[in-house]
Amino acid sequence: MATLILLRHGQSLWNAANKFTGWVDVPLSERGRAEATIASCKLKEKGYYIDVCFTSTLFRAMETAVVCLTECGEICGDKTPIFQHDLADEDWHGWNKYESKFDEELPIFPSPALGERYYGKLQGLNKVQTAENYGEAQVTQWRRSFSVRPPGGESLEDTMNRALPYFKNRILPHLKHGDNVLVAAHGNSLRSIIMHLDNLSSEEVPLLELQTGVPNVYEIDVSGEVLSKTILN
């Protein structure tokens, strides 16, 4: 049996300003860093231990992962978290291909596949003002429908089509191997994974609300099936 922890990043500065963030690389707010610290403490209290971490390439998710792993060090033991970059850049002198020493280090794998939904022309706009300009019904459809895209952006279905294959091909093998996995990502990429794990329909998943900084904990058996789910709120 293995543990999968899905953690939406802590509050970002644009979450606090009620703006559409999408792929804009906005850092955490003070509250967001506190939420990541609280998540770390909750996981420590419950006795959870992390072997490997996956995150998006956006800073708010990576920052959440690091704070969660380091504020209560017991959840990764004496291991040092190390980002494992997969970049085709000669200036890295090969260190982008560095392989962790798993007895001493905890690898963190960032991937754009786990990134937030791309909101296109809505990115940077205030959500209340956008509803006033386009109408509440239209903005709700852009935000909450499964397959409708905002102008120039991705639908939730589009986000699922990149996040779910990454989960199945890259993350699930670790769980089947018995590794405890932390995934620090975003509301919509995590909705896509939860849709699969919880067997939600395309009508149900847009209604799923994920609080910032709150761990969703799954126990997974060797076949990849969900045995239980706990939300540490």
| pLDDT at residue 125, as a whole number | 97
Q: State pTM to two decimals.
A: 0.94
Query: CB neighbours of 64 closer than 8 A, spacing ≥ 6?
Result: 7, 9, 10, 28, 32, 35, 36, 39, 55, 184, 213
Sign of CA dihedral 220, 154, 187, 203: negative
Q: Considering only the C-alpha atoms of the chain, give the largest distance between any 2 of them, rounded to a whole number of Å.
A: 55
**Domain CATH for 60:** 3.40.50.1240
Q: Can you tell me the distance from the alpha carbon of 177 to that of 27, in angstroms, rounded to the nearest whole number?
A: 33
Let me know: does 166 contact 112? Beta carbons within 8 Å: no
Let me know: does 55 contact 61? Beta carbons within 8 Å: yes
93 pLDDT band, cuts 50/70/90, is low
pLDDT digits (tens, 9 = 90+) for 52-82: 999 999 999 999 999 999 998 789 888 999 9
pLDDT digits (tens, 9 = 90+) for 103-142: 889 999 999 999 999 999 999 999 999 999 999 999 999 9
Q: Which active-site residues does the annotation give?
A: 9, 116
Owning domain of residue 50? 2-231
Structure tokens at 91: 């200036």
Please state the length of the chain: 233
Query: CB neighbours of 95 closer than 8 A, spacing ≥ 6?
Result: none
pLDDT digits (tens, 9 = 90+) for 168-207: 999 999 999 999 999 999 999 999 999 999 999 999 988 8
* Structural domains counted in the chain: 1
Query: CB neighbours of 233 closer than 8 A, spacing ≥ 6?
Result: 211, 214
Rounded to the nearest 10°, the torsion over CA 79, 64, 6, 232 is 100
